[in-house]
């Protein structure tokens, strides 16, 4: 792994939790409920919050953007989420939820001078990305920048997260891993239990068929565990993802990126101390487990 690829992965681990709090915080759930969403399951608000930058997206567009979800699962929620609230209303609620989340977690530190410096560095990185072929990154980058530093930081982290995520989907496609196969192969290397993916909506039959297809390529063994070839393929996917995510960090520079990593540490600490985010181990690195 190159120095730049390693930096891209490090910055993902630093910024992913800053972004992902919107899917797990009580404040975000309350904001979704106030709009009228059923919050007994987190998927209605998840699809609304994540898809809103795309406008009034239909099931096909949302399925393409979210990739690893069963089309049936996406269609259960999209476009029905826009009958509850418009994309504009969802975006406003999303930002208000982030505001409440970080003010409640951090108090004045959320808007202090170090937060402002972090916001400026993250914004500079986010505005440097090339969004060709990266619809979720482009859609979030098209949104107006908020004024408060913690909201600028969150929006920049979201752009950078979706920029990496869009690139990850390109890496999966280059590896010829379809949406269900991407999850089966991920579980096969022991990165996450199969049960973690139940919410993605794939049936047992579809999961078994995907496993059989991977077995036919020599990527998984009889028990569903990854073969050496399967592990090597997943490693190539992750390395390509890092390479495709490196552009903003190349332009920001290693010194400023490391400064940003240090500045966001209080945000990470607040999120994890509050127990907002589940954790998983990916390729030997502990990180936050968020839906892709």
68-120 pLDDT, tens digit each: 999 999 999 999 999 999 999 999 999 999 999 999 999 999 999 999 999 99
Which tops the pLDDT comparison, 198 or 104? 104
Whether 128 and 121 have beta carbons less than 8 Å apart is answered as: no
CA distances to 13, 42, 85, 219, 237 from 161, rounded to whole Å, are 10, 20, 25, 28, 17
Instruction: Categorize the per-residue pLDDT at 284 as very low, low, confident or very high, splitting at 50, 70 and 90.
Output: very low
- Give exposure, 133-148, as e/b (b: 16+ Cβ within 10 Å): ebbbbbbbbeeeebeb
Mean pLDDT, the chain, integer? 93
If one counts every other C-beta atom within 10 angstroms of the C-beta of residue 241, the result is 22
| 188 pLDDT above the threshold of 80 | yes
Average pLDDT (2-6) is 92
| 212 pLDDT above the threshold of 90 | yes
Position 277 scores a pLDDT of 85
Tokens of 92: 């406003």
Average pLDDT (16-43) is 96
- The domains of the chain are located at 3-274
Average pLDDT (218-231) is 96
Position 164 scores a pLDDT of 98
Instruction: Categorize the per-residue pLDDT at 288 as very low, low, confident or very high, splitting at 50, 70 and 90.
Output: very low
Position 179 scores a pLDDT of 97
Q: How far apart are CA 89 and CA 271, in angstroms?
A: 25
Q: How far apart are CA 209 and CA 121, in angstroms?
A: 45
Instruction: Categorize the per-residue pLDDT at 279 as very low, low, confident or very high, splitting at 50, 70 and 90.
Output: low
The closest alpha carbon to 159, from 134, 137, 135, belongs to: 137
Average pLDDT (261-275) is 95
The closest alpha carbon to 50, from 27, 20, 29, belongs to: 20
Position 289 scores a pLDDT of 41
If one counts every other C-beta atom within 10 angstroms of the C-beta of residue 221, the result is 14
| 292 pLDDT above the threshold of 50 | no
Average pLDDT (236-241) is 97
Stated pTM of the model: 0.94
Position 280 scores a pLDDT of 45
């Amino acid at each position: 792994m190159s120095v730049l690829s390693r930096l891209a992965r490090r910055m993902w681990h630093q910024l992913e939790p800053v972004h992902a709090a919107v899917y797990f915080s009580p404040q975000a759930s309350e904001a979704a409920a106030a709009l009228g969403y059923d919050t007994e399951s987190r998927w209605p608000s998840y699809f609304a919050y994540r898809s809103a930058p795309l406008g009034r997206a239909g099931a096909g567009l949302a399925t393409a953007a979210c990739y690893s979800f069963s089309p049936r699962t996406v269609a259960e929620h999209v476009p029905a989420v826009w009958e509850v609230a418009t994309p504009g209303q969802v975006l406003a609620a999303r930002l208000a939820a982030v505001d409440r989340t970080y003010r409640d977690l951090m108090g004045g530190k959320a808007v202090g001078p170090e937060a402002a410096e972090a916001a400026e560095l993250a914004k500079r990185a986010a505005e440097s990305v090339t969004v060709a072929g990266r619809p979720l990154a482009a859609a979030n980058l098209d949104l107006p920048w908020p004024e408060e530093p913690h909201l600028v930081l969150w929006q920049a982290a979201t752009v950078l997260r979706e920029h990496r995520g869009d690139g990850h989907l390109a890496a999966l496609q280059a590896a010829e891993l379809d949406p269900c196969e991407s999850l089966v192969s991920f579980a096969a290397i022991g990165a996450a239990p199969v049960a973690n993916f139940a919410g993605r909506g794939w049936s047992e039959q579809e999961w078994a068929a995907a496993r059989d297809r991977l077995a036919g390529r020599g990527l998984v063994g009889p028990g569903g565990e990854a073969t050496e070839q399967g592990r090597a393929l997943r490693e190539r996917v992750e390395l390509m993802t890092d390479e495709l995510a490196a552009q903003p960090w190349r332009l920001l520079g290693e010194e400023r990126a490391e400064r940003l990593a240090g500045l966001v540490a209080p945000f990470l600490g607040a999120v994890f101390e509050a127990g907002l985010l589940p954790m998983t181990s990916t390729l030997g690195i502990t990180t936050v487990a968020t839906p892709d």
